[in-house]
Amino acid sequence: MFSSIKKLLIGRPLKSTELGEQKLNKTKALAILSSDALSSVAYGPEQILLVLITVGTAAFWYSIPIAAGVLVLLVALILSYSQIIYAYPHGGGAYVVSKENLGMYPGLVAGGSLLVDYILTVAVSVSAGTDAITSAFPVLHAHTVAIAVLFVLFITLLNLRGVTESASILAYPVYLFVLALFILIVMGMYHIMTGRVSPALHSPIGTPVAGISLFLLLRAFASGSSALTGVEAISNAIPNFKTPAPTNAVKTLMAMGSLLALLFSGIVYLAYFYGVTPKAEVTVVSQIAEQTFGRHVMYFFIQGTTALILVLAANTGYSAFPLLAVNLAKDKFIPRMFTIRGDRLGYSNGIIMLGIFSTLLIIAFKGETEHLIPLYAVGVFIPFTLSQTGMVVKWVREKPKGWIMKLLINTTGAVISFIVSMMFFLTKFAQVWSILLFLPFIIFLFHRIHKHYEAVGDQLRLKTCEPAVPIKGNVVVVPVAGITHVVENSLNYVKSLSPDQVIAVYVHFEKEDEAIFEEKWNKWQPDVRLVTLPSPYRSIIQPLTKFIDTVQRKASESNYQVTVVIPQFIPKKGWHNILHNQSSLLIRAHLLFRRDVVITTVPYHLKK
């Protein structure tokens, strides 16, 4: 029944050989991997204005040079990631690049911050999208958390079905959002050029502003760069592209960068020219759209696609998290289960884990995850800095053809990313301090897991020179609860193996029991030695374990192996199990994990 529900929800299982069919072409890849980056346009420009307004609306013209700075950073990131894609065609996330060029710990810092960041991506994007919906339909406001959780569930199921199918569904809203913003920007420009927008609404560029400082401008720049979260998604996902994967990935990255640059500068420019002031209830994009179209159908189209792309931005996390998890798991830093492909060939464990953690975040913050945005941005810029520093080291070390140009690009990127990261710590410490606690913790965890896997591998590997101690003989201990078919069945089995010694053990709670049982036993199985153990505290496990320890101590002296054969009857129906005391399961679990004895379960299947 479970398997048929599963099939209904996520589709039939796929063979491993069907993997190729699941690869992405460029159009789908652009949709599936860029929703996070593109949706940032919905809040990036607003973040700049929110900082500038602290010194007054006259300072708004600074948004133009700041946006130019963000665009420079964007260009540097895009160029840098193109170089990474060619240099690491099997997936060049910040984790891989930092690890290979800077060493294990910088790699783990990058990997650790990204893992958490993808969870934040999902939680923040879904919550923001839900807010957009509940703003449109205020009756739903009381159910924010439930709606957000349903969205996460929905996206999780889409991803469990597999990447291609989710891409088909996700392509439309992303392209509709791009279309909507393009129409908005073009119409806005048209209004400005035809003189329908009063020039009095904005202060000219270069107007002197009292109270402006470099600190404030850097802070505005850092805030604006939150529009760049998500650009690394493509470089993580190269193995998902159709061949030639690197070329297709770079083309997709360029397309995404161009779209992002166009939309971002268009919105910043319109906001500046319209003199838009950020408000708590109405977003900047909403204000621009309203001034351009009025409360027209186009306004609702823009708001609707914005809400949709915010929810779907969460999907970027679903593409990136499982792939990063595979890389970390292959290097033995997180549990091995993340490397296993599920029925539909996606890395189900990563997908499910991401769904669970982001749901927990949404519930813990009651759907108000917006104040996690600075944490989210700093978690992106730390790996940006590390991976670009890694590329700098790579070029200096390898000095390939044209390396000076490449070095310049990555150095620029690294320096700007580093400054942005530092700006977050300096200007928004109250919101980002937790990463300073969390990163050391997760790296410690990675380290412990790694050490364990290494130790296990070491102990399992055959050192062919060292011969194993041969087993000289076998002693079998059979705990018996009575004179029944179950016990008879087990004894028959034991006799067929003809071990060197068989001991039946009976634990009794009442003194009177002992003699009666011994008599019955000797009539029934005179050839099997019976040991009876008293149990004044009514525990079966305790006297049994003590007895087995004694047997094992003696047996090991002469290299004999002790096997405990447990007779177990298996009820016909699952619910019947709660009617029986499961002593055999308890005995098995207790012995297996604590003693060096072989445990054999002889099932006796009941027929009714």
Residues from 424 through 453 that contact its own copies (CB under 8 A): 449, 452-453
When the beta carbons of 257 and 322 are compared against its own copies, the nearer one is 322
The residues, ordered by sequence, that sit 6+ positions from 494 with a Cβ below 8 Å of its Cβ are 476, 478, 502, 565
**Helix, strand or coil for residue 578?**
helix
**Cα–chain-centroid distance for residue 358?**
9
Nearest approach in angstroms of CB 41 to its own copies is 40
Provide the minimum distance between the beta carbon of 477 and its own copies in the complex, in angstroms, as a whole number. Answer: 14
From 175, 499, 503, 545, residue interacting with its own copies (rule: CB under 8 A): 499
Q: Find where tokens 């003194």 sit.
A: 511
Each residue 570-599 as x (binds its own copies by CB under 8 A) or -, in order, gives xx----x-xxxx------x---xx--xxxx
For the bound state, the minimum distance from the C-beta of residue 554 to its own copies, rounded and expressed in Å, comes to 17
Question: In angstroms, what is the minimal distance from the CB of 567 to its own copies?
Answer: 10
User: Would you say 113 and 379 are in contact if contact means Cβ atoms under 8 Å apart?
Assistant: yes
- Determine if 177 is a binding residue for its own copies (CB under 8 A): no
Residue 533's DSSP bridge partners are 507
Q: What's the min distance (Å) between Cβ of 15 and its own copies?
A: 4
Is 601 an interacting residue with respect to its own copies (CB under 8 A)? Answer: yes
479: closest CA among 510, 502, 495? 502
The Cα–Cα gap between 295 and 298 comes to: 8
Question: Measured from the CB atom, is 399 or 576 closer to its own copies?
Answer: 576
1 counts as binding its own copies under rule CB under 8 A = no
The residue whose two tokens read 């035809």 is 194
Query: Minimum distance from CB of 455 to its own copies (Å)?
Result: 5
- Asked if 517 and 491 count as a contact pair (C-beta separation under 8 A), the reply is no
Element (H, E) at 570: strand 560-570
Report the alpha-carbon distance of residue 84 to residue 11 in Å, rounded.
35
Binder of its own copies out of 483, 503, 533, 541 (CB under 8 A)? 483
Q: What is the rounded distance in angstroms from the CA atom of residue 470 to the CA atom of residue 490?
A: 26
Residue ranges of E strands in 177-306:
none
The number of residues making up the chain comes to 608
Binding residue for its own copies (CB under 8 A) from 497, 515, 516, 531?
Answer: 497
CA distances from 543 to 337, 431, 491, 562 (A): 38, 57, 21, 17
User: Cβ contacts of residue 154 below 8 Å, gap of 6+?
Assistant: none
Q: Which stretch binds its own copies (CB under 8 A): 105-113, 122-130, 532-540, 549-557?
A: 532-540
C-beta of 80 vs 584, nearer to its own copies: 584
Distance CA 486, CA 506 (A): 14
User: Minimal distance in Å, beta carbon 464 to its own copies?
Assistant: 8
CB 521, min distance to its own copies, A: 12
Residues 290-329, mask of contacts with its own copies (x by CB under 8 A)? ----------------------------------------
340 binds its own copies per the rule CB under 8 A: yes
161 is an interface residue for its own copies by CB under 8 A: no
Member of 7, 9, 13, 186 binding its own copies (CB under 8 A):
13
Q: Among 130, 150, 134, which residue's Cα sits nearest to residue 359?
A: 150
Q: Distances in Å between the alpha carbon of 582 and those of 370, 481, 569, 589?
A: 50, 12, 10, 11
All residues at 6 or more sequence positions from 97 whose CB lies less than 8 Å from its CB, including other chains:
84, 87, 88, 110, 386, 387, 390, 391, 394
- Give CA–CA dist 529/97, Å, rounded: 67
Region of 162-170, 185-193, 272-280, 471-479 interacting with its own copies (CB under 8 A):
471-479
525 part of the interface to its own copies, by CB under 8 A: no
Q: Candidates 214, 470, 527, 557: give the one binding its own copies (CB under 8 A).
A: 470
- CA-based end-to-end distance of the chain: 22
Closest to its own copies by CB, 58 vs 445, is 445
- Nearer Cβ to its own copies (295/608): 608
CA–CA gap between residue 542 and residue 235 (Å, rounded): 58
Q: Is the distance from CB of 348 to CB of 341 less than 8 angstroms?
A: yes
Member of 27, 436, 509, 546 binding its own copies (CB under 8 A): 509
2 makes contact with its own copies (CB under 8 A): no
Cis peptide before 244 (omega within 30 of 0): yes
Q: Is 526 in the site for its own copies (CB under 8 A)?
A: no
Counting contacts by CB under 8 A, is residue 484 touching its own copies?
yes
**Which is nearer to its own copies, 290 or 513 (by Cβ)?**
513
DSSP-assigned letter for residue 237:
T
Q: Binder to its own copies among 165, 290, 343, 549 (CB under 8 A)?
A: 343
Q: Does 493 bind its own copies (CB under 8 A)?
A: yes
Under rule CB under 8 A, residue 16 binds its own copies: yes
Residue 163 vs 228, nearer CB to its own copies: 163
Q: Does 569 bind its own copies (CB under 8 A)?
A: yes
Q: Which of 69, 89, 304, 603 binds its own copies (CB under 8 A)?
A: 603
Residues in the interface with its own copies (CB under 8 A) total: 71
- Contact range with its own copies by CB under 8 A, out of 84-92, 147-155, 234-242, 568-576: 568-576
Options 200, 460, 512, 527; binder of its own copies; rule CB under 8 A: 460
Structure-block tokens of residue 542: 């305790």
Can residue 602 be called a binding residue for its own copies (CB under 8 A)? yes
